[in-house]
Structures are given as C-alpha cells and as structure tokens.
Structure 1
Amino acid sequence: MALGLFRVCLVVVTAIINHPLLFPRENATVPENEEEIIRKMQAHQEKLQLEQLRLEEEVARLAAEKEALEHVAEEGQQQNENRTAWDLWSTLCMILFLVIEVWRQDHQDGPSPECLGGDEDELPGLDGAPLRGLTLPNKATLHHFYEHCIRGATADAARTREFVEGFVDDLLEALRSLCNRDTDMELEDFIGVDSMYENWQVDRPLLCELFVPFVPPEPYHFRPELCCSRRSVPLGRQGYGQIRVVRADEGALGCVCGKTTLGDDMLCLLHGRSSVARPGGELESLLCAGDSPYLDTARVMKWFQMALTRAWHRIAHKYEFDLAFGQLDRPGSLKIKFRSGKFMPFHLIPVIQCDDSDLYFVSHLPREPSGEAPASSSDWLLSFAVYERHFLRVTSKALPEGACHLSCLQIASFLLSKQSRLTGRSGLGNYHLKTALLHLLLRRRPADWRAGQLDARLRELLRFLEKSLLEKKLHHFFIGNREVPDGMGLPEAVRRAEPLNLFRPFVLQRSLYRKTVDAFYEMLKNAPVLISEYSLHVPSDPGLPHKAAAL
C-alpha cells in the first residue's frame, strides 16, 4: 500500500515538473527571438562603437588642446628666458659703463696735454660742436686794464692788512687776559691766509682771513684723525677729519706728568696739587656733543663767539667804531663799522693744527657753492691754505721777475666776480681758479710765466677750467698729488690718499652743473667787452677810505 502510494506521488510530481505551463523550457522561444536578440545586440554594438569613436575624438581633441597649451607655455617660457637674459645683459652693460665712468672720474690722471697745447686751439662745447675760442683784447689793452683796474684797486691792501692785524692783536690779547689758564683754551698767534696774503685779491671790499690756532689746557690734548688716511673712506669725506679730545692722565691715578708714582703725602713740584685732580669732564661737556669724544664744530663756534664778545667788551672803550658779527653761521665773521657808514669785514677762524705740519682743521670755512656739507658736526674741514701760500711764495722765487701767474689769477677772479653779479653765483669759485693755477705752475716751465706772456697764460688758464668743467674733474692740488715737491712737508697720509675731485658735486647736481657751465661760457663771451670797457672807464673805488685805514 505504501509502495503504491509512493509511486502515485512520484508520477504526480513528475507530471507537475514536466508541465509546460508551470516550468517552460529556456530554449523553447529561442528560435522565435533569436533574430531580434541578434538585431538588438548589433544595434547595441553599433552604439558602443559610435560612443567609442566619440570618446576617441574627445580624447584626441583634449590631447591636441593640451599639446597646444604646452607649446604656448614653452614659447612663453622661452620668451621669458630671452627677456631675462636680455635684462641681465643690459644690467651688466650698465654696470660696466658705470665702472668705466667711475674709473675715469676718480683714477684718471690730470688733464691731458691737449689742454696745454697751442694758444690757437679751440675746445669743443658740450654738444660736441666747435666753440669759438676766447678772443682777448690785444696785449696793450690787457696790460692797461691790469695796471689801472686791478693793481690800482688793490693798492691799499697793505694798509688794510696792517690795520686789521693791529686790531686783532689787541682783541686776542684781551681774550687771553680773560681766560683761565688752568681751565680755558689757549689761543696762539694768528696766521694770515688766502688771497689777501697771497697778493691776488681783487674783490671789494678787501677781506682778511686769519687763522687762530687754539690748544686745550692740561691735562688735555687733541688727537687729529684724517679721514683720507683710512683704507676705505667715502668720496665726500676725503677732505675732512675728526679731532679726539684725550686726557693726558687717562689711566693714571697720580700726577698728570705720568713719569712717576707719588704717595698721598707727596706733592709734585711740576704741576702742583691742583693739577692732580681731574677737571671732571668740563672740557668734554663744553666742546663735545653728547657722549662723543670728538670736538663738535657747532659747540666750538658758540664758544669762540662768546669769547670774542667778552674780549670786545673789554676793549671797546678804546676805539671809535663798533664791532659786530657779519654772518652768524660762521664763528669768526666780523665786521668793523665806522661812524662814516663804511665797514671793513674780516674773518677770525678757529683752527687746530694737525700734529707738527702746516695742515689745519677748520671748524667753519667759506665754502665754494658746489662744496658738500659735512656728514656730521664732528667732521672738520682740512685747510691747506698755509701750504698754498708757501707753495706760491717758493714758486715765485723761481719765476722770472714780474711773472704773470698772479696777474692771470687776478684777471680770472675779476671776470668771475663780475659774472656772478650779473647771473648770480654758480658752482665755480675763486678756490677753483687758484687750484687750476697751482696745477699749471707745477706743469709749466718757469720761463713760460714771463710778463709778456700774460695773454697766453690767461687763455691757457681759462682753457684748463673749461676742460675740467667738461670732464667734471678738478683734482685737489695737495690731496693725493704725488707730484708736489717733498720739501713742502705734506703728511704722508695726504700724499698717499686717493685724489680728491673738487668737481664731484657736479656729477650729482645736474642743475648746478648746467648753471655753472652756462655762466662760464657767458663769462668767456663777455670777457673781451668787459676788459675793454673797464680799460676805458675805470670805476670809482668803493673801498675803505684812507681816513678809515688810519684809525
């Protein structure tokens, strides 16, 4: 029974499984849908191929754009590299040109022999076009002009010097009597310098310039320091120096002489007990700025003006004129005012001697218009005025009798003074004229300065100045000039220093340079007419009358 039931169930299950409606076979519809499936597959394949083609085109386009961008970037980078290389080359060329210009300005030797050539040569103007040479009047007119307009106008120079020197002697003596020898400065005898004592001044009124050296009281002393003696010094400070205030008893606790050590109960017979005690830095606080150990020019100026004022009040009752300061920015610019309304200016300039030489440190000095201001108030000007006076005196002994070197300088100074009154002061001053003459005196033979060659030497002096202006270079006569005779006694540091270009400010100040060049050529243009006119009509002398000179 059970076996029969099992067989029936098996038959039923088999029938159900094989029934086409319940479990259809997979390949039953293949013959009907095969073509449609194939068609769909082909359509899908075509679609995929089209998409693949589109993607390939897109990739190709993107690759082309990327390649184009890379090409543009490469071209831009190459252009930048070329531009950088060109900028670098331009910068190198500019630096090379500047180095050449600096070398030419600072290291090239003095004027070329062309400047000392024949009298008929002409120098080119600034634009390279030939400039008409200077046409001076004939020798007779030139000598007549010198004798009547220059020599005659300066005939009372000796009387003026005598009067000023006598008054200054009295003034300094009164100043010494008011000073305390233990605490105040000690003033030495004055020294006459510049054109008034070199016999070539033509400007009116006649002006005496006097150096007044001063030294500190014990236990102090001054230690000068030349800027040009240093290994590296800015070009603008070559003509300056500093002065250190040093105590002779620095580091010593006993006698200021420093030669022996004394006990507490012993007294130095040389200096006394008052000298042993330190002054407490009074001198430093009086003449040095702040905590600096260097002399301050402004404080020295203030001290000197106050000292002169006290000295004048002491002797004013002896004179029938007044004394006043001419320019407050210069310590010793004084002016004697007579009751008649006339006045006589002179300069008393406090100076410090550099060791045992004739070189002096000057607190304030009338500077040329193109001069550079000092970097600080502790910078002192170097003055070679005593050396210049000595060089002219020694050179004059070797020149023929009646030599024309000072006459050339006087005529050039006269022309410059008249031109300055017409067009105002330029960057060219009398010190430049004198420097040019000193260079020519060193290069020319003594026989070339005979009196009959006044016109030739004057023309040569003006040509020298013209060439120096065109080159913007006029070397100081003493600083760095190894051609100066050894007998002058210049400090070795000055002889071995780099040459100092007096026309260096023209390189930095174009407007001043243009004004100076224009004024110089205007002076050359007006020189023949000016000399001829003054030769025919000698102007009246507005200077000091004989009565005033006799006071």
Structure 2
Amino acid sequence: MEGTAMPVGIFRVCLVVITAIINHPLLFPKENGTILENTEEIIQKMKEREEILRLEQLRLEQEIAGQEARQKSLEKAAKVVEESKEEKVSWDMWTAISLVIFLLIELWRQDFQEGNWQDTGGEEDDMAVLGKAFKGVVLPNKAILASFYEKRILGTTGDMARMREMVEGFADDLLEALRSVCNRDADMEVEDCMGVGSMYENWRVRKPFVCDLIVPFTWAHEDAAGCICDKTKLGEDMLCLLHSQAIATRPSSEMEDLLCFKNTQYLDADQVMKWFQIAVTKAWNRISHKYEFDLSFSLLDSPGALKIKFKSGKSIAFNLTPVVQYENSDVYFISHFPRSGLAADQPSSTHWFLTFAVYERRFIQLVSKMLPANACHVSCLQILSFLHGKQCSLTGPSGLSNYHLKTVLLHLLQARPCQDWAPEKLEARLQDMLKFLEKCLHEKKLYHFFIGNGKVPAELGFPIIFQRAEPLNLFRPFVLHRDVYRKTVDTFHEMLRNTSALINEYTVHIPHAPIARFPVINRQHLRIP
C-alpha cells in the first residue's frame, strides 16, 4: 500500500491545478461575457486562491516526501533485520565450532600433549614460580607438628595392628569354610585374601578403621587357549573352579548361567558379587557357633562390605572383595571399589576395574627400606589425610580422595632423594605435598603413578604393558565437572586457612612456640572457569 502513495499524491496535485485552471475567470469567462468592474477585488481573490493552492501543493509535497521517507525506512529496517538474521546464524555456527575446538584442545592438553607424564624432575622450579603468587598462611612449627603427630596419630598405630590381626584371622577362617561348602565342579576356586590400602600401608588415621581385603578367584573363558589354572600355581589341595579330576577344559553351562552375563561368556560383576555374598553367608552359617559375635553385610552399595558386631555393641567393619588376576601378575580386575574415591562409574556389569593396590603397597615397602630411620613420608601422608578429612567433615565432601593424596606421595617419593625424607624434614616435605597438590589442582592434572610411568623400579616386577600405556589423568573429571572442581578448590583453600586451628585442637599447648609462615596460593591466582 505504501508503494502506491507517490502516484496518488501526484494525481491529487494535478486535480487541484486543473480545477484552478477551469475556474479561472480570465480563461473561462461567464456566459454573459461581462467584465467585473472591480478589477482589484478580482486580483486579490486570485492571489488568495493562488496562496491556498500553493499551501495545498506544499502540504501534498511534504506528505509525499514523508511517505517516501517512511518507505525507505521500512525497506532499510527490513534489510537490517535480514542481515542480522544472517549474522546471527553465522555467529551461532562459529560459536558452536569455537566451543567444540576449545573442548578438543582442552582434552588434548590434558592427555596427549608432549611430555604428558607427571614431570616431577623440575618440580622445585615450578613451585618457586607459583610461590611468588602465594599469600602467607600460618602453619604450626616443627615442635607443634611433632606434638600433634605424637598425640593424635601415633596412638592409632597400635589399634590398627590389633584390628588387622583380628580381621585377617577371621577372614582366613571364613574363606576356608567357604571353600568347604562350595561345589568345586560348579563354583569358583577362592584363594587366600590379601590386605591392601591405608590400613596395610600404615597411614590411615581417621576412624572408623576399615580393613580392605581382596580375594582372588580363578575363572577361564570357553574360547581361551587353555584354562587359567594351567598358568597359575594353585597348590596340591586346590582345584580350578571349572575342573574336577574327571572334567575337561570346557566350562559347564551351570557355571556360565551363574556368573556370566546373559547369553555371553563375559563375567558379570554383579552376578559374581551375588554368588560371593551367598557363598559367604553359607560359610558363616557353618562356623558361626565358634564365635561370640554376629556377622552381617553392612552397605547396600558396597557388596563386599561386612561388619562384625559384638554383644557389647561395638563393631568392626571390613571389605572382602573378589578379584580376578591379570595374566601372571599382581594386577587384578576388581568387581567394585570399596568406598570408591576413584574416577568413573561402571559402564556396565561386564566392565571390570583394574586395581594396582598390591604394587602400591609393595612400592611403599621397597622405598621405606632405603629411607633414613623414622622417615617422615608416612607422617606427611597421615597429617595431610587428617587435615583433609577434618575439613570435609566441616564443609562437606570434595573431589579429592585419600587415593589422590597417596598418589601425590608416590610421585614425590620417586622424585626426592632418600635423605630428603629424614624425620627432621617433616615440615618441608609437608609443604612439598601441599604445593604439588595445589599445582595439580591448578592444571587439573594428576597422573596415576603406575600407568604410563616408565620409571617404576624393576624390582617390583610390574607388567611392562602398563608402563608403556598412555598416562591416566586422575583429575580429568574436573575438566567437565566444573561444580565439583570449584567445590574441591574451595575445600582445599579452606583447609589451608584452617590448618593451624585443626592441628592446635589436637595438640598439647606449647608456650611461646614460634610459628612458621607457610606459602599458600592466592585464590585469585587459581582461576576457576
């Protein structure tokens, strides 16, 4: 409609002009032909009519000009809207592409960049650079640290030793009863249990004390080139779960139905744990008359969690978890991680985790033999574990676990000379652990100690295939889970600020003891995306 405004306006102007011409008295006089006597009056009226026509023409021209301006504005606005739509589509596309590229770069940086192994060789230089951005936090001096360690931590060592002895003795008796009630032609052959984790590495400090025991059992796939019992020394009184004296290498259909995922030959972790719980229940019923306590399964989400409950009301908890040996090594496939602080959820019940707990315990024992007497390495881990546990009890759990803290110690044990772990260097080594942990949080990068580490001592007999594997970043979940990362960093900083108070709470007062200044990162320096 706006497009027809100009022709209509021109028509109206023409109509006014034609009307004026037709009514002009000089061009079309009246029929009588008589000239008006008062010429001046006629001229005045003509001027007035001319002025009216001029004003009308001006009004029409202004109206036409306004309509043309509005038309141009509308056309320009439509063009701008169209261009903005195109730009928006283009911007959205480039934004999406940029986000994808950024994510790929971040993941590559975490796992595949050159030199991606945890380089602790130049750690002192890196710490010095980061230290320039630190602000001071009060850390109790050596005397207070020593008093705290003696009062709060050393007293637990005897308790742990007594508990380990009691749990191991009972577990051996329980597993022996389990073997006796199992049908060897259909059920699995269970081996002796092994203690792993903080209770057997002597650094657990927080109660309740819980012993972690793993129980290897034998199993072979139907299409395997010979049963696993051919590669494992079982002993004269032990039989493979798939074989009796009269059965060949083919597993029975009963065994497959019992332990494998439906219509497959893959071991089902849930089925194995269900079988194990039933077998433990049968074994306990066989020997329960010998003991003056009750045994029960304590946690629904941890199938191997058991609890001994005495008549006095006291109880002892321990985990008994079945595992499958990886080839001829002390690496094991584990059905579930007790109180898991490790990584991801289980994709399915046919996917088993790997545990290197036996090698971790063996590495700590090996290194301890080379360190000075009363070395401070275990003390550092105990203090750090205590501080972090106390802080989490105040502000809630974070993304850090005791396994992460132990991994930090393993890296530093390999990087530091033996003499650096003398007992008088407790404060300095505790600083190192906190700095190293801060650096790993800042980079969201803490590598598993064994996977991808070509420097593992040969004395351990660690499988070479894992040394040559791609390093595993235990902090990789922080890249995608920013809320967990923020909570973890906040908890870490809060722990550092509360260190003095947490230690003094459990320390005998030492008057006039000087305090040391401990470097702690500025929260603004550690940027949280």
CA distance in 2, matches of 1:107, 1:171: 47
Given that 1:122 and 1:132 are in contact with CA atoms closer than 8 Å, whether structure 2 keeps it comes out as no
Change in 2 beyond 3 A, CA 1:118/1:151? farther
Aligned runs of 1:89-128 on 2, under 5 Å? 93-108=98-113, 109=116, 110=118, 115-117=123-125, 123=131
Check if 1:190 corresponds to 2:162: no
Partner of 1:407: 379
Deviation at 1:76, TM superposition (A): 9.3
Task: Pick the aligned partner of 2:216 from 213, 221, 244.
Answer: 213
Deviation at 1:107, TM superposition (A): 2.6
Change in 2 beyond 3 A, CA 1:299/1:343? same
Given that 1:123 and 1:133 are in contact with CA atoms closer than 8 Å, whether structure 2 keeps it comes out as no
Check if 1:152 corresponds to 2:160: no
Change in 2 beyond 3 A, CA 1:272/1:302? closer
Task: Pick the aligned partner of 1:324 from 288, 296, 305.
Answer: 296
Change in 2 beyond 3 A, CA 1:134/1:355? farther
CA distance in 1, matches of 2:337, 2:419: 35
Task: Supply the AA of the counterpart residue of 1:180.
Answer: N
Which string of whole-angstrom CA distances, capped at 9 and with x for unpartnered residues, describes residues 213-272 of structure 1?
1114xxxx25xxxxxxxxxxxxxxxxxxxxxx646689xxxxx99xxxxxxxxxxxxx99
Task: Supply the AA of the counterpart residue of 2:186.
Answer: T
Partner of 1:509: 481
Partner of 2:9: none
Aligned length: 425
Partner of 1:136: 139
Task: Supply the AA of the counterpart residue of 1:490.
Answer: F
Tell me whether 364-373 or 312-321 shows the greater mean CA deviation: 364-373
Change in 2 beyond 3 A, CA 1:324/1:84? closer
Task: Supply the AA of the counterpart residue of 1:137.
Answer: P
Partner of 1:441: 413
Partner of 1:177: 180
Given that 1:362 and 1:383 are in contact with CA atoms closer than 8 Å, whether structure 2 keeps it comes out as yes
Given that 1:188 and 1:213 are in contact with CA atoms closer than 8 Å, whether structure 2 keeps it comes out as yes
Deviation at 1:418, TM superposition (A): 1.1
Q: What TM-score do you get using the length of structure 2 for normalisation?
A: 0.73
Tell me whether 170-179 or 324-333 shows the greater mean CA deviation: 324-333
Change in 2 beyond 3 A, CA 1:91/1:273? closer
Task: Supply the AA of the counterpart residue of 1:305.
Answer: Q
Task: Pick the aligned partner of 1:393 from 348, 365, 381.
Answer: 365
Task: Pick the aligned partner of 2:454 from 464, 482, 495.
Answer: 482
Partner of 1:544: none
CA distance in 2, matches of 1:362, 1:388: 15
Deviation at 1:424, TM superposition (A): 1.9
Change in 2 beyond 3 A, CA 1:498/1:526? same
Given that 1:320 and 1:338 are in contact with CA atoms closer than 8 Å, whether structure 2 keeps it comes out as yes
Deviation at 1:488, TM superposition (A): 2.7
Task: Pick the aligned partner of 2:338 from 359, 363, 366.
Answer: 366
CA distance in 1, matches of 2:120, 2:97: 30
Aligned runs of 1:278-357 on 2, under 5 Å? 280-357=252-329
CA distance in 2, matches of 1:457, 1:317: 50
Partner of 1:471: 443
Task: Supply the AA of the counterpart residue of 2:442.
Answer: L
Tell me whether 74-83 or 326-335 shows the greater mean CA deviation: 74-83
Change in 2 beyond 3 A, CA 1:278/1:442? closer
Given that 2:302 and 2:339 are in contact with CA atoms closer than 8 Å, whether structure 1 keeps it comes out as no
Partner of 1:47: none
Check if 1:459 corresponds to 2:457: no
Task: Pick the aligned partner of 2:391 from 419, 424, 446.
Answer: 419
Partner of 1:533: 505
Which string of whole-angstrom CA distances, capped at 9 and with x for unpartnered residues, describes residues 440-463 of structure 1?
111111111111110111111011
Change in 2 beyond 3 A, CA 1:246/1:424? farther
Task: Supply the AA of the counterpart residue of 1:439.
Answer: H
Identity of aligned residues (%): 55
Tell me whether 179-188 or 309-318 shows the greater mean CA deviation: 179-188
Partner of 2:166: 163
Q: What TM-score do you get using the length of structure 1 for normalisation?
A: 0.70
Task: Supply the AA of the counterpart residue of 1:166.
Answer: G
Deviation at 1:111, TM superposition (A): 5.3
Task: Supply the AA of the counterpart residue of 1:438.
Answer: L
CA distance in 2, matches of 1:277, 1:385: 31
Give the CA RMSD over aligned residues. Answer: 3.3
Structure number with bigger Rg: 1
For structure 2, which runs of at least 5 residues remain unmatched after alignment? 1-73, 231-242, 510-529
Higher relative contact order (CA 8 A, sep 6+): 2
Q: Secondary structure at the match of 2:270?
A: helix
Change in 2 beyond 3 A, CA 1:523/1:194? same
Change in 2 beyond 3 A, CA 1:451/1:73? same
